[in-house]
Structure 1
């Protein structure tokens, strides 16, 4: 049986204008590998905790303190919990609380000469880590666009001086996600 490939649209919730990616990855990937694909495609650094929710069940890294009731993502393959049309909720950074909608747009047989995973498309740069969630990101965008804003220089420096909110390169994202293979 040929490998099944899942085409997934990853959309960052509560952010305008919309930040999204379209990735293709093997259905045999465990959820921890799906997490890494999302991290690399979006531009996050994987510094923070994360979880998936599928049909009311939460998955993630087991909590050694037992405070979070998460099923171990290492034990669950994408193709075991998802099919075409499935939506997964992926939350990254429990402080900033970045929610992502993962929609399985299609499932198909792998192309024999194609390497997976890959990033087909997307729009806009991912918000910087620790910006303060969707509200903090909106404030950052306002400040960066207005040189007269009282926090323009401070937030521009904090964001590295070269943050371009409209920039996204699917080729670079594909290079990054392919490091998983």
Structure 2
């Protein structure tokens, strides 16, 4: 006999927005509150479309979390030790920085917290807009330059940028279902 009074798992509805990019690149994801920050890192990587090639950190009220650096260059607290539900509630804002060279800043807002639906699978992506910038494009400024070059066949960098990306790139592309399928591998 199950306990019908058991509290359902708490699900956090997060809006993750890439800073300094217009039009906005953002995702709305549903994540169990019991996820540690290292799992939240993977959710952000999968949902945004990053390849996890670079270092990252979270900023929670001025405290930095990430993968501890054995050489001690970055004073990061271990993200494995911290659960989302221990540091965030509805309305909390967190920072997430990916790639300390390109310096991609993401703003994370906890839009809502609610009980898990028994027949839903988490984590899930339920909304968003626009494609993730390519890795190593040079941050927000480099991405703007890249878009200008690939859009305009007369741009002096058009051909070199097309060769560099090596594939079709649609900055407006976004597929929540595909992202949710990727996220289910984390569950």
* TM bucket, shorter chain: over 0.9
Distance 2:126 2:113 in 1: 15
Q: Does 1:37 align with 2:43?
A: yes
Distance 1:9 1:39 in 2: 14
User: What SS does the aligned partner of 1:180 have?
Assistant: coil
**How many residues get paired?**
181
Q: Does 1:111 align with 2:117?
A: yes
Q: Does 1:154 align with 2:160?
A: yes
Flag the structure with larger Rg.
2
Distance 2:142 2:183 in 1: 27
Q: Does 1:143 align with 2:179?
A: no
Q: Note the 1:68-83 alignment, pairs <5 A.
A: 68-83=74-89
TM-score (normalizing by structure 2)? 0.96
User: After superposition, what is the alpha-carbon deviation per residue over 1:126-179, rounded to whole angstroms, capped at 9, x for unaligned?
Assistant: 000000000100000000111100000110121123011000100001011111
Give ranges in structure 2 of 5+ residues lacking alignment.
1-6
Match of 2:186 in 1: 180
Match of 1:90 in 2: 96
Q: Does 1:164 align with 2:170?
A: yes
Deviation at 1:2, TM superposition (A): 1.2
2:9 aligns with one of 3, 8, 12:
3
Distance 2:108 2:166 in 1: 29
Distance 1:163 1:99 in 2: 22
Deviation at 1:14, TM superposition (A): 0.4
Distance 2:182 2:160 in 1: 30
Q: Which runs of 4+ in 1 moved over 2 A?
A: none
TM-score (normalizing by structure 1)? 0.99
Match of 2:20 in 1: 14
